[in-house]
Structure 1
Amino acid sequence: MNFKLLSLLIILTFASTTFSTKIKSFVGLRELTHQIEGYEICDKCYTFVEDNIHSTVNNIIHGGNKSCSDICSVLNSTSYDVCETMCETLGLELFMVLFSVVDPDPVYICELLKVCEINDNGFANVTSVTVSPTSAPQNTSFNVNVDYSVSSELGTGTIQVQVWAPGDGQVVTLNYLLEETTVGQYTQSFIIETYPNDNCNFTAGLYMVDVLICEGSCQSTHPHSKIYNLERSQFTITGNGGSGSGSSGSYLFW
């Protein structure tokens, strides 16, 4: 085994023995709300972890673990500021434990940090999924409209949209964060742009759209996570579209 990697594993193992005790008293990350205006702290934590978990872990494994600035050096300026604040607040060893030992799961990590709420007694259902147009050529923007109901308030959950290409080839998985969603009826809309890209050529055929609503992250193996239900819809790409000028492989929601 690489000596640097072995040394890192020893450090992480030692640090993890004090993880539970330290995390219970952790409150410093909440100070981010005063430093980053315009964002809820759970949403900011979730977005940072989801966008940067893989590059941060890779940097730690490959030797970028001498200091907080060293770990965060691979990130852009905005993410760097959040990363360094989190790292300095938690401490270097605990930060590395959080990002290297826990199976990457943005919601669970932010719940451990006490910035995302936990509620194991929530309940929600996706009640309707519609796609328009139902059939169109490649390069079309397909609108996915999701209606869902919450019958018991959620803690921190997600709506996950999975688009499957013909032959069960997955095109995209998109996650949308739900924060302390109260009882009621809701609608969330997504746009799937079918411009050919490195991940999918969006060739002609039937595309299945699965929409899941979950407590925590969908498919997570961690505590406080479960799938409430799944609804399915579909759309058809009829053939090649025009040259177009849209953004390649962009998936939007509002």
Structure 2
Amino acid sequence: MYKIFSLLLIILVGSVVANVHKFKIRSNHTERAISSLIHGTNIVLDIILQFGIMDTCGHLCDLVTEKTGSALLGLVCTVGCDFLGIEEFAKLMQSADIDPIYYCETIKLCPINDDGDAKFKSFTILPSRAQTGSTIDVDMVFVTTNGTGTGEMVIMIQTVDKIPLTSGFLSEAKKPGTYGERITIDTTADPDCDPSREQCELWLEGTYNVTVMLCNGQCGSHHPHTTLYDTGRGSFTLYEE
């Protein structure tokens, strides 16, 4: 149940980050979609302002489904509301700054480990020099002595043209041990990016600095059960023929 609900959260209720651009990337984790936590929270708040606190979770979450057109978002609402109760759920929504991992932990579906730890044992970027349009692999190995809580892995790339790139992935709670991870970066320009509407990463010649953060909870969150375990850094260089 935890894994299924976690996937729903990551797919449906990823947080919105200002001035950050998505890029083509692959990982063995589930990517956090830039989607509707804030939108969903605003829908709930609008319903509460318009109708007051509903008499039942079913009534409230049916309206969420109706207004968003998303049965899955309605399900996320229902699971949380049924667990917390309608009044506590409304209070949580009114905080307006919840993140998907904290939400999952609050309704007791995501494990918490405040004594967890994780340290990178190795951090390698290959190839370190490649032609534009190539794929770049970020290979990491980290060790945890006490296990980890439900968390996030975030990759950030400092680009030549100064367009900030970032992507986040759910990291499920882990037992003590050694774990390998790989993130693959596609340096082909996105043909679907419209420069008249947004900044488009062109993957120009030059050096790209890569930072990966491994966190307990959502990286950068001010909520409980949030810790930066470790940070890995490296770089790669692109050239044109």
TM-score of the two chains, using structure 2 as the length reference: 0.71
The alpha-carbon distance between structure 1 residues 238 and 109, as it changes in their structure 2 partners (threshold 3 A), is same
Unaligned runs of 5+ in 2: 15-34, 52-59
* Paired residue secondary structure (1:152): coil
1:193 to 179, 186, 189: 186
Change (3 A) 1:199 1:135: farther
The CA distance in 2 between the partners of 1:207 and 1:239, in whole Å, is 14
The answer on whether the counterparts of 1:127 and 1:149 sit within 8 Å (CA) in structure 2 is yes
Unaligned runs of 5+ in 1: 1-32, 241-254
Can you list the C-alpha shifts for 1:171-199, whole angstroms capped at 9, x where unaligned? 123233232x1111111112222323345
Alignment RMSD (CA, Å): 2.7
* In structure 2, distance between residues paired with 1:164 and 1:100: 35
Give the letter for the 1:158 counterpart: E
Which amino acid letter does the alignment assign opposite residue 183 of structure 1?
P
Shift of 1:168: 5.0
Report the CA distance shift for 1:121/1:236 in structure 2 as closer, same or farther (over 3 A).
same
Report the Cα offset of residue 91 of structure 1.
Answer: 4.5
Task: Identify which of 29, 43, 48 aligns with 1:59.
Answer: 43
- Which of the two has greater helix per residue? 1
* Matches of 2:40 and 2:96, distance apart in 1: 13
Moved more, 63-72 or 206-215: 63-72
Specify the SS of the correspondent of 2:180.
Answer: strand
SS in 1 for 2:225: coil
The aligned runs of 1:18-167 (5 Å cut-off) are 33=1, 39-50=3-14, 51-61=35-45, 63-65=46-48, 66=51, 67-72=60-65, 73-87=67-81, 90-166=84-160
Tell me which moved more, 200-209 or 107-116. 200-209
1:71–1:135 CA distance, 2 compared to 1 (3 A): same
Q: Structure 1 residues 40 and 85, CA, compared in 2 at 3 Å: closer, same or farther?
A: closer
Cα contact 2:214–2:230 (8 A) shared by 1: yes
User: Which structure is higher in RCO with an 8 Å CA cutoff and minimum separation 6?
Assistant: 2
Deviations 1:192-238 (A, max 9, x none): 22323345323312211111111111111112111122110112232
Preserved CA contact (<8 Å) 2:156 2:212: yes
C-alpha displacement at 1:80, in angstroms? 3.5
Deviation at 1:90, TM superposition (A): 4.1
Tell me how far apart the structure 2 counterparts of residues 185 and 68 of structure 1 sit (CA, whole Å): 41
Q: Is the 8 A contact 2:8 2:72 kept in 1?
A: no
CA pair 88-211 structure 1, distance change in 2 beyond 3 A = same
How many residue pairs get matched?
A: 202
Q: Distance in 1 between matches of 2:132 and 2:68?
A: 36
Percent of aligned pairs sharing the same letter: 26
Cα distance in 2 for partners of 1:224, 1:64 equals 30
Q: d(CA) in 2 for partners of 1:58 and 1:136?
A: 44
CA contact (8 A) 1:126 1:211 kept: no
**Contact 1:159/1:178 (<8 A) preserved:** no
CA distance in 1, matches of 2:72, 2:186: 27
**C-alpha spacing 1:43/1:126, structure 2 compared with 1 (3 Å):** farther
